[in-house]
Amino acid sequence: MDELRVEFLGHEFDNPFIIGSASPTVDGAHMRKIVEKGWGSYIVKTLSLDKNVRPDVRPRLSGMGRYSHLFGLQNCELITTHTLDWWERELRMLRDLDSPMIVSIMATPELEDWATMGRWCEENGADIIELNVSCPHGCPEEHMGSFIGQDPQLVHDVTKAVKDDVSIPVMTKLTPNVTDIVPVGKAAKKGGADALSTINTVGGINGVDIYNRIPAPYVLNKGTISGNSGPAMRTIAYKWVSELAANINLPISGIGGIDSWEAATGMMMLGASTTQVVTAAMVEGFDIVQEWKRRLAEFMREQGYETIEDIVGKALPSLSDYEHLEVEDHLYPEIDDTRCIQCQRCRIACADTGGEAIITPYLNEIDDDKCLGCALCKTVCPVDAISMVVRDGSLRWTRKQGPPTDRKEVDVGLTAEEGK
């Protein structure tokens, strides 16, 4: 699949799918497996000087949803729990791999520490360094992670400290936990960053054990605000990647909620040249990349894209300020009776929140005069039977000849009777 090859920071990647710095990259054996399974590359779990290394708490993960329906994952995991001597041995076992080695590092604002870590990476075979100035828990309290990433001056200074001391490319990994990411990205660029990556996790609380009165995830009787990842965070990742791409001329590695080849393609269309994946690989395993590569290559052939570079930024021209959105042309729902399962969800949602326009969904009976065009019906449809279409004329009834006979049986937890 040569069309998936991509050049990023002077290195050739077999494909744009990279496993981001996190639990899947905790040691050399895991990273060998990642490459053997076909990922474009990996980013070593964040390393630091031995004085900054601490043990992790157990447990440290808590999910919103489960397995393939997991839409959010919260973790309070720290950076590596191993010393640099240990890592020297682990990285040695990766040197023969035909895949660029990206090493993530972290330090306090002590600039000499950043420079030391940068030199250490270069001496130990790294091809690219990622600067983690973005971890939202455990590290900020020690003046690391997003303590640095939320301050453009510090981001500039640490990026420059590493850049001045190494000859390999440096990518600064930005935090989503800011009001505006662009000034921070510009500061990294001014400090000499060769690329930007974002997002790291979003600080929050994803659940509460209401019987024990403890926020999740918790260790014995205490929880903490910590990092959220997974598909629900993709909205923030897409926003910040597109803002960086539109405002700063640097390559971007897009991270956050990539759980399918389509989500990765969206990330690239918003300006990322490579995409990093963590939560999806943790939940579904490293093998997912094989299907993603096959499907992306098929999509590229169908759509006439010859290279990954042809995809990068393709959706940016259609990203506009609200004031430029069209208000005159109206779209209306059209219900495909061969897909409709008569669950009534669209009718109920429209009756209670929309314009009471849907009369009989499976007959496509819609009163266009009452339709608000909001697309709530399309949003609640569990079988994707509703499209929004342009119509001419203000009032139009569509009554098809009799109910369809080949409707699919899909369990949506609501019978047709209950829905009425």
Ligand X SMILES: Cc1cc2nc3c(=O)[nH]c(=O)nc-3n(C[C@H](O)[C@H](O)[C@H](O)COP(=O)(O)O)c2cc1C
Residues near ligand X (CB under 6 A): 20-23, 45-46, 73, 75, 77, 79, 104, 132, 135, 173, 200-201, 229-230, 233, 255-258, 277-280
| Minimal distance, residue 232 CB to ligand X, in Å | 9
By beta-carbon proximity to ligand X, the closer residue of 45 and 156 is 45
Region at 44 (left for phi over 0; alpha for psi -120 to 50; beta for the rest): beta
Query: Which among 26, 57, 65 has a CA at the least distance from the CA of 43?
Result: 26
The candidate with the shortest Cα–Cα distance to 209, out of 200, 198, 222, is 222
- Smallest distance, Å, CB 29 to ligand X? 17
Closest approach of ligand X to the CB of residue 205, in Å = 15
CB 177 within 8 A of CB 203: yes
Query: Is 135 an annotated catalytic residue?
Result: yes
For ligand X, which is the closer residue by CB, 124 or 279? 279
Distance of CA 9 to the CA centre of its chain: 21
| Shortest separation between residue 21's beta carbon and ligand X, angstroms | 4
Q: Return the number of the residue (75 or 124) whose C-beta is nearest ligand X.
A: 75
Which runs of E-coded beta strand occur in 76-126?
101-105
Nearer to ligand X, 242 or 342 (CB): 242
Question: What is the distance between the alpha carbons of residues 272 and 22, in angstroms, rounded to a whole number?
Answer: 20
**Per-residue H/E/C for 365-396:** EECCCCCCCCCHHHHHCCCCCEEEEECCCCCC
Q: How far is the CB of 309 from ligand X (least distance, A)?
A: 23
| 3-state SS string for 47-84 | ECCHHHCCCCCCCCEEEECCHHHCCEEEECCCCCCCCH
Could you say which of 76, 135, 139, 346 is catalytic? 135
Could you give the CA distance from residue 128 to residue 195 in angstroms, rounded to a whole number? 10
SS3 category, 292: helix
The distance of closest approach from Cβ of residue 228 to ligand X in the complex, given in angstroms and rounded to an integer, is 8
Torsion of CA 387, 393, 397, 400, to 10 degrees: -60
359: amino acid identity, one letter: I
Residues catalogued as catalytic: 135
